[in-house]
């Protein structure tokens, strides 16, 4: 209401305040609010100087936007298969994919848990590669006590309604580099420099601005972010508890000991012999939504057409994609609901 009454519906004080508070919470010097996580990744890659002909190492087990934004800047996503337990990029397989064209590693922290950053940081240093973090699914997650969003030259968060916090649509780029903050701030605003007049343009820019209403929502969500994550963790623990006796039937999520998980989703792995589509259909008949989550990016048709990927190229990622099932996870889900979901799932599998 404050925003609506103020007359500033965009480019106003709430954006500035949201950026400042967000940077404080994550622990970076700067934060730049944008219209979506995808827009943020696009700008972060531009700010990193990634361009036509460059290669960027990344994971095939992610939401398609992480890899699409590499294509936006004319570079080639070079996939590295993932760890079978955390589903994050496997650092041991990165080095042999580095070529003279490799400029950066786009690290995705998938499902709410950080990628194994120590070996990734070592490789980046050795080969002079930039790191851009896709932290869209892992706000507030920590790796060896350090928050995601503080490891790379830049990091990107997303606020679509299915994320841990939301602004409707929206995203945020965090960085400790003033130059990255300034370039992103300009590019999201049609390439204007801060000291330029409204119709002067320094770069080829975009309109990737977040509006003031979204920023106000974001500020309110930030205030209760700890609570939002704690509630998600409680529900995840309930699933763990009720699923534990059935380990041989349903694999529950694994969180590495040096990680804290902020539970973007709760995804189980079904046995190979179980027909996942049938499970989804029967769960729906019992009033339970579930989703195969996620398809491997290299198996998406236009990636196959562009790069000639085939089955077996990234077997770990493919195996997870074929067997993972996201169960309902939202604040307000009660223990009796979790019990009902688990009982239904087990009886369908049986
Ligand atoms: C949600 C998400 C994005 C994109 O965020 P949008 O705000 O939907 O554009 C990018 N990467 C990952 C891993 C995501 O989960």
Q: How far is ligand 1, taken at its centre, from the CA of residue 66, in Å? A: 7
Residue 158 CA: which ligand 1 atom is closest?
Answer: 7
Q: Is 293 in the pocket of ligand 1 (CB under 6 A)?
A: no
Task: Name the residue with the closest Cα to ligand 1, atom 13.
Answer: 63
Q: For the chain, give every domain's residue range.
A: 2-223, 225-349
Q: Is 66 in the pocket of ligand 1 (CB under 6 A)?
A: yes
- The preferred substitution site among 39, 65, 134 for testing ligand 1, maximizing ligand atoms within 8 Å of CB, is 65
Model pTM above 0.85: yes
User: In this structure, is the dihedral angle defined by the CA atoms of residues 193, 194, 200 and 206, taken in order, positive or negative?
Assistant: positive
Condensed to tens digits (0 to 9), the pLDDT of residues 264-297 reads 999 999 999 999 999 999 999 999 999 999 999 9
Q: Is the pLDDT of residue 201 over 90?
A: no
Confidence at residue 193, expressed as pLDDT on a 0 to 100 scale: 79
* Partner residues linked to 211 by β-bridges: 10
Has residue 203 got a pLDDT over 90?
Answer: no
Whether the per-residue pLDDT at 229 is higher than 70: the answer is yes
Is residue 211 pLDDT above 70, yes or no? yes
Indicate whether 165 pLDDT > 80: yes
Helices (H), ranges, the chain: 2-6, 13-26, 37-47, 64-72, 117-126, 178-187, 212-223, 225-243, 276-285, 301-307, 315-323, 335-349
How far away, in angstroms, is 200 Cα from ligand 1 center? 31
Q: What is the pLDDT of residue 202?
A: 78
Provide the CATH number for the domain formed by 225-349 in this structure: 3.90.1150.10
Instruction: Decide whether any atom of ligand 1 lies within 6 Å of the 137 Cβ.
Output: yes
pLDDT in tens, 243-255: 999 988 999 999 9
Q: Does 2-223 carry CATH code 3.40.50.410?
A: no
What is the per-residue pLDDT for 197? Answer: 67
The 10s digit of each residue's pLDDT in 296-327 is: 999 999 999 999 999 999 999 999 999 999 99
Distance, in Å, from the CA atom of 60 to the CA atom of 81, rounded to the nearest integer, reads 7
- pLDDT, one tens digit per residue, over 94-116 is 999 999 999 999 999 999 999 99
Residue 301: Cβ within 10 Å count? 7
What pLDDT, on the 0 to 100 scale, is given for residue 79? 98
Residue pLDDT, tens place only, 254-271: 999 999 999 999 999 999
Ligand 1 centroid, distance to 5 Cα (angstroms): 31
């Amino acid at each position: 209401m404050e925003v609506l009454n103020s007359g500033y519906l965009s480019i106003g004080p709430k954006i500035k305040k949201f950026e400042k508070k967000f940077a404080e919470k994550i622990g970076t010097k700067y934060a730049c609010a944008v219209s979506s996580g995808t827009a943020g990744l696009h700008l972060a890659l531009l700010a990193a100087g990634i361009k036509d002909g460059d290669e960027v190492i990344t994971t095939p087990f992610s939401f398609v936007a992480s890899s699409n934004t590499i294509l936006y800047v004319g570079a080639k996503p070079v996939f590295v298969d993932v760890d079978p337990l955390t589903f994050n990029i496997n650092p041991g397989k990165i080095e042999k994919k580095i070529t003279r064209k490799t400029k950066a590693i786009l690290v995705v922290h998938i499902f709410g848990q950080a990628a194994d950053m120590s070996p990734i940081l070592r490789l980046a240093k050795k080969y002079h590669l930039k790191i851009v973090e896709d932290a869209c699914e892992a706000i507030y997650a920590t790796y060896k006590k350090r928050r995601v969003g503080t490891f790379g030259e830049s990091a990107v968060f997303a606020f679509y309604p299915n994320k841990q916090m939301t602004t409707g649509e929206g995203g945020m780029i965090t960085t400790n580099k003033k130059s990255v903050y300034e370039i992103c701030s300009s590019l999201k605003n049609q390439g204007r420099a801060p000291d330029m007049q409204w119709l002067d343009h320094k770069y080829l820019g975009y309109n990737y601005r977040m509006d003031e209403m979204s920023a106000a929502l974001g500020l309110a969500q930030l205030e209760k972010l700890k609570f939002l994550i704690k509630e998600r963790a409680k529900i995840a623990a309930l699933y763990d508890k009720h699923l534990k006796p059935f380990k041989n039937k349903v694999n529950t999520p694994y969180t590495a000991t040096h990680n804290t998980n902020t539970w973007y989703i709760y995804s189980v792995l079904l046995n190979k012999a179980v027909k996942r589509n049938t499970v989804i259909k029967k769960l729906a008949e019992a009033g339970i939504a579930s989703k195969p989550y996620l398809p491997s990016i290299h198996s998406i048709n236009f990636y196959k057409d562009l790069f000639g990927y085939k089955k077996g190229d990234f077997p770990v990622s493919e195996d997870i994609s074929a067997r993972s099932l996201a169960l309902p996870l939202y604040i307000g889900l009660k223990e009796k609901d979790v019990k009902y979901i688990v009982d239904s799932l087990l009886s369908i599998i049986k």
